[in-house]
Amino acid sequence: MKNNNYIGYMLVLIGGSLWGVGGTVAQRLFQKGSVSVEWLVSVRLLLSGVIMVALALTLKNRNKVWGIWKDKKAVVQLLFFSILGILTVQYTYMASISHGNAAIATLLQYLAPVFIMLYLLITGKTKLQIRYVVAIVLALTGTFLLLSNGSLSTLSVPYSSVVWGILSGVAMAFYTLYAGPLLNKWGSLNIIGWAMVIGGVVLGVFNPPWQANVTDFSFDTLVFLIFVIFFGTMFAFWFYLESLKYLNAQETSLLGSIEPLSAILTSVLWLKIPFGIYQWLGGFMILLMVFYISMKKEAGSDKFNYSQKAKGASYSNFQ
C-alpha cells in the first residue's frame, strides 16, 4: 500500500511540475519564438487531445470513447465543457503569460477556489463560515502583494495580464463545477481528450495552425514546442490522472500545488524574471489559501463535494 502511495506521489509531483514548467517554456516561446497565443493553444490542444483519445481507446472502457457521441445530452455538455471550459482556460492562461509572465499567471489561475466558493455562497449551495472569510482574506491579500510587490503606485505586470489571469481563474472555476457528471459517467481521459480536440478545432477555424511557417522556427523553438505540447500538456494531464489511482483527490490537489512553485522557480532561475519578497509572500498566501480550504473537515459534518478532475484533482470540500 505504501509503495502504491509513493507511485501516486511521484506521478502527481511530476505532473504538477510539468504544468508549471510548461507555462514558463510557453512564455519563452512568446518572447523569442515568434509564436502567437492562438497558434500555440490550437496546436497544443489538437495534438494532446488526439493522443489522449488514442490512449483512452486502449483502456477497458474504450467503448465509451465513441459511445458518448450517441448520447445527445452528453454531446451538448461536452461542447459546453470544451469551449467554455478547456479552451477558455487554456487561452486565458496563455494570454496572461504572453502579456505578463508564467509565475503570476499560474498563481492568478489558482484563485479559482475563491470564485467557486463565491458561486456556492451566492447560489445558496453552501453557507458562509469563518473558514471562507479566512480563505478570501488570504486570497485577496496574497493577490495584492503578488501584483503590487508592496507598492501602491505600480503593478508588477501589465493590467492586461492581470485581467487574463483572473479570467483564467473564473474559467477554471466554471469547468471544475461543470465537468463532474461528464467525468464520472464517461471517464476523465476520454472527456478531456475529446474536449481538447474540440477546443483545438474551434480555435483552429479562426486561426488555422497550418498557416504558420514552421520551417522558419529555430531548433530551440521546435524543442520548446515539443515540450509544451507533450510534456507540459499531455504527460502532465496523464500523470495527474494516473495519480488518482493511488491517492485520494484531496492528497492529489494538495501535492498538485507544486505547479505554481515550479512556474515561479523556473521563471526566476531560467528567464531571470524579477520576483520581490512581497511577491513571494503573496504567492505563499495564495497557496496557503488553497491548502486551507482543501483540508479535510472532521467526520460528521455536511459536505458539498466537487472535483477538479478536468485537471485531475479536487481542491476541497465546501461545507
Max intra-chain CA distance, the chain: 62
How far is it, in rounded angstroms, from Cα 102 to Cα 262? Answer: 10
Q: What is the pLDDT of residues 249-277, one digit of tens each?
A: 667 777 878 999 999 999 999 999 999 99
Rama region for 60: left / alpha / beta (φ>0; ψ in -120 to 50; rest) = alpha
Neighbours of 131 (CB within 10 A): 16
Confidence label for 53 from pLDDT (cuts 50, 70 and 90): very high
What whole-number percentage of the chain has pLDDT above 70? 91
Which amino acid is it at 7?
Answer: I
Q: What is the pLDDT of residues 71-102, one digit of tens each?
A: 999 999 999 999 999 999 999 999 999 999 99
Residue range 137-163: mean pLDDT, rounded? 91
C-alpha pair distances (Å), 225 with each of 56, 219, 253: 24, 10, 27
How far is it, in rounded angstroms, from Cα 312 to Cα 289? Answer: 19
How far is it, in rounded angstroms, from Cα 304 to Cα 158? Answer: 37
Question: Is pLDDT above 90 for 316?
Answer: no
At 263 the pLDDT is 94
At 318 the pLDDT is 33
Q: What is the pLDDT of residues 210-238, one digit of tens each?
A: 877 777 788 899 999 999 988 998 888 88
Q: What is the pLDDT of residues 159-213, one digit of tens each?
A: 999 999 999 999 999 988 898 888 888 988 899 999 999 999 999 998 888 877 7
Element (H, E) at 318: strand 317-318
Average pLDDT value for the chain? 86
How far is it, in rounded angstroms, from Cα 232 to Cα 225? Answer: 10
At 304 the pLDDT is 39
Element (H, E) at 195: helix 188-206
